[in-house]
Structure 1
Amino acid sequence: MTTEPTESATVESVIDSIKSQKLSKENAEKLLILIELLPQILSELNNPDYDEIFGYRINTNEKPHVNVPVRNEILLKYLAADKYDLELAKKRIINCLNWRNKFQPLHAAFEEKFDSELNELGVITNFNNTGANLKIITWNLYGNLKNPKKIFEKFGGNSIKELPGSQFLRWRIGLMEKSLQLVDFTDPKNNKIGQIHDYNNISMFKIDPGQKQSTKEIIEIFGSNYPELLSTKFFINVPLIMGWVFTFFKTIRIINEETLKKFQVLNNGNLTEFLPSNELPKSYGGSSGKSIFDLDISNSIKLNDYGEIILKKIGDDEIEHNNDDVE
C-alpha cells in the first residue's frame, strides 16, 4: 500500500477541504493517501461500480457527481474511527461499500414499505435552537411495540431481489439513512446526529428474542458502517432494574469505549437539560403542546442527487434480472 502522498494533490488542499475540524498536517497526509487509494479500494469491491456512502459518490475528483469536500469529510470519519490507521481504514471502507451494495440501505430508506406499526416506533426531529450536533435526532420509542413476532421476522419486502435482514432492521437502517440526508458533513455543529432511546412502558422480562437479535445486529452494523456520526445517545425512562444492561455493554465489549462515553442514561424522560424546552413536547419536560409524532419530519426528507441515481440503477438492475428470469 502507498505510504507517501503523490504530487497529484497537496496536503494543503486537503486541509483546506476539511471544514468540520482543524486537521493536523500528519493526519491530512494520511487522508490524502486514502483519497489516492480510492481506485484501488473500488477495484477490490465485490461490485466495483458501487461507490456510494450516505447517498454521496465516493470516487476520484474527476468523476461526475463527486462532491469533493463532502467525500473528504466522509473518508475522514472512517480514518478517524480507526485512529488514522490507513490499512484499517481501507479495510473498513471496503467492507462498508460491500455491505451497502448487499444491504441496499438507501432502498430501505426511500423505497420499501413497512408494517404501519413501525410508524409508532421511531421519528426524526430537527431542533432549531440546540447545542452542537443535536439538531438532528432519531428517536426509538420501543414502548410502542405491540407485535414483535411480525416486526422482527425476516423482511420479504416489495423488491424483486431477496433483501437481507428483518423488517425492523431494514426500517431502522432506513431511519438512520434518512437522518443523514439532513447532516452537513462540512459543518462542525451539524456533522453528527443524536439518538434517543425511550424505554417508557418496556418490561425487561418481555423482550422478544427477535428484538434481542436485531439489537445485536444494529449495534454491529452501526459500529462498522456509520463511524464518527453519533454525538450523544440518550437512554431515557430507564428502569433502575435495567441499569445492569449498560454495565453489560462494557463487559462484552461489543461497543467501544469512545462510543460508551457518548451514552447518557436517565431514569426519567426530562430532556430540557439538553434540548430546547419550547420545542420539546410536555412528555419530555418541555412546554410545547405538540407530540413527538407532530415533530416527525421523516416522511418529508429527500434523497440527494447521487443517491437518486443509485436507486434508479438498483431499480433498472431488478427489472433486467426479472426479464432474464422470464426468458
Structure 2
Amino acid sequence: MKHFIDKLWREHTLTAEEYRALLTCRDADTWAYLQHRAQKVTRSRFGNDVFIRGLIEISNRCRNNCYYCGIRSSNRSVARYALTLETILKCCREGYAAGFRTFVMQGGEDPAQTDEWVEATVASIRREFPDCAITLSLGEKSRETYERFFRAGANRYLLRHETHNETHYRRLHPAGMSSTHRLQCLQWLKEIGYQTGTGIMVGSPGQTVAHLVEDLQFIERFRPEMIGIGPFIPHRDTPFAGEAAGSADMTLRLISLFRLMHPDALIPSTTALATLVPDGRERGILAGANVVMPNLSPREQREKYALYDNKAAFGAEAAEGLKKLEERLRAIGYSISKERGDYKRSD
C-alpha cells in the first residue's frame, strides 16, 4: 500500500480503486507511513507554524432542519441567540489584541440576519481591521449575495459539502435541500474569487467507503483552498441521537490523504476532533493539519451553539486559552503563527 501513498505524494491523485484500497487497509505501518509523509509535506510548506483563526459563532438560529445538527430548526430545546454588530466587533477587538489576524463568522442560516445586515457587518470589520482576513461560514446563499459579501470585504468562505453522494445527502437532510445546489454554491464562491473551503463529516449515518471515495475524488478535482474535515458526533435532540460517533482514526487518515493531495491547503484540526478525543487537536496537526480555530464568541453563548453533544468551547479551544494552546502545540514541536496565513499555491 505504501506505493499508493508515494504516488499520491508525487502526483496528487489516485484512482478510485487506489483510494478504496487505502481506506480499507488495516496495516498500522501503512498508516504510520502515511502520517509521516503528510507531516513532511506540511513541514516543507509551512515549517512548524500553525495558523490561528478567531471563531465567532454569530447565531444559532437556522432555517434548515438537517437531521444531524443540534441547532436544527425543529429543536425546541435550544436557547436561541444572535450576536449584535457591536458584540461581534468587540469579539474582533479582543481577538486582535490577542494576535488574531483572521476572523471567522459562523452561524446557522438565520432568516433574521438579512443579507444587508451581514454585508454591513463585514464592511464594519473590514474598516476597523483592514489588515485582517474575514472568513464567512453562513451556508447557502445566492450568487448575488456571495458577490455582495465579497465586495464588502470578505476574503474566504467555508461551505462543507458534507457528502458528495446524492443518496447519502438525502439521508442526512430533509426535502428541499440538495447536494446539487450545495455544489453550485461552491462553484460560485470559487468563480467570485473567495478562498473557498469545503469538506466532509466522517462517519455520518449511512456513510460507506464508496461515499468517502466520491468525496476524495470531488475534493481532488475541486482543489479547494481550505479543507474542513471532522468526525460525526451525535446530538441528543436529533433523529441521529442514538448513532455512533465517527472514527477519529479515519478522520486523521483522511487529513493525511488530503495533505498529500493538496500540499498547500489550509486544513484545520477541528473542534469536533478535539471533542471526540482529548488529544484530537494535536493528533490532527501531526496528521497534516495546519490551522486551529479558538473560540472568540462570548462565553455565555458558546454552549448554545451546540451542533453536537459536549462540544469543546473552553480551555485550549477558546481564545482566552491561547497560552494553553501554545504550550500544547509546543509539546509536539509546533508553534502558533499570528500571520493571516493566506493560501498560496506553490506548484
TM-score (norm 1): 0.29
The structure whose Rg is larger is: 1
Task: Report 1 or 2 for greater relative contact order, CA contacts < 8 Å, sequence distance ≥ 6.
Answer: 2
TM-score (norm 2): 0.28
